[in-house]
Amino acid sequence: MTRPDLNLLVVLDVLLAQGSVAGAARQLHLSPSAMSRTLARLREATGDPLLVRAGRGLVPSPRALALREQVRRIVQDAEAALRPAAAPDLARLVRTFTLRSSDGFVETFGPPLLARLGAEAPGVRLRFVPKLDKDSAPLREGAVDLETGVVNRAMGPEVRVQALLRDRFVGAVREGHPLAQGEITPARYAASRHVLLSRRGQARGPVDEALEPLGLRRDWSATVGGFSAALGLARHTDLVATVPARHTATLRVGLFTFELPVQVPEITVSLLWHPRMDGDAAHRWLRERVREACAEAA
């Protein structure tokens, strides 16, 4: 079966509204002859004359009268579908977004973010899920709406990235720890027992690379996959936790925090999403609220 030319619906809508070939031609910026040819195609497609000569004008056939409202609705729906998405009605928006991030991000930036969402869109809910790896498949498959983290080569090349904040590493120990007294030298820092933060279980990172030129290496007792676990061990043992400062501002309350005695590069934490969400107005709104929450908690 030959597929009909859907462009004819737009012409039919105008013809039925104008009741005139010349008037429809002017509205659609066509010549009268081109409009007459299109009317002929419409008559062939519908098997009906549609507009019939009556004196000097044209009158709609019964089939045309029956089609008028249906065609108008179809054309209006098509125009709405092709129109850019309007700004969401935040007061009535009911939607759950999934945000994959570290525990430190939730602790530090979650409260100002939720406060913003509650004030603007009380029907919006956030589902925080832990970030266990750098795989971009959850974004691609739609299991996750947004993600925060440090971009690396494992991230899919199509993923959208926008920098949120810069963060630096600091050390944290329990009150009364030997490092809480006196100068913290690279040798004293390296000689302490450490809890390492590594989602992949690796016992080497930027801090170890900074110590290596000095002929030093950290001695570690445990590796964990999250900031909360690292700081929890540091709080109740003599282990040293080395964590991002801004991400763990809340988690480090009650601990002794110190600047690292070696130069470790800062990290850039970014907001990530899949390009299929670019046109989603509510998603754009949420991205802006995340950026504002991170700036507020600076």
Mean pLDDT of 139-149: 90
How confident is residue 136, by pLDDT bands cut at 50, 70 and 90? confident
Q: Output the pLDDT for position 216.
A: 95
Q: Is the pLDDT of residue 140 over 80?
A: yes
Q: Output the pLDDT for position 154.
A: 64
Q: Is the pLDDT of residue 266 over 90?
A: yes
Q: Is the pLDDT of residue 131 over 90?
A: no
More confident residue, 84 or 42: 42
The number of residues in the chain equals: 298
More confident residue, 134 or 296: 296
Six-digit token string for 164? 């949120």
More confident residue, 55 or 112: 112
Q: Output the pLDDT for position 250.
A: 87
What digits encode the pLDDT tens for the residues 172-230?
A: 999 999 999 999 999 999 999 999 987 665 667 889 999 999 999 998 999 998 899 99
Q: Is the pLDDT of residue 22 over 80?
A: yes
Q: Output the pLDDT for position 168.
A: 94
Q: Output the pLDDT for position 187.
A: 96
**Beta-strand relationship, 267-273 and 160-167:** antiparallel
Q: Is the pLDDT of residue 279 over 70?
A: yes
Which of 2-11, 209-218, 220-229, 280-289 has the lowest average pLDDT?
A: 2-11
More confident residue, 168 or 103: 168
Q: Is the pTM of this model over 0.85?
A: no
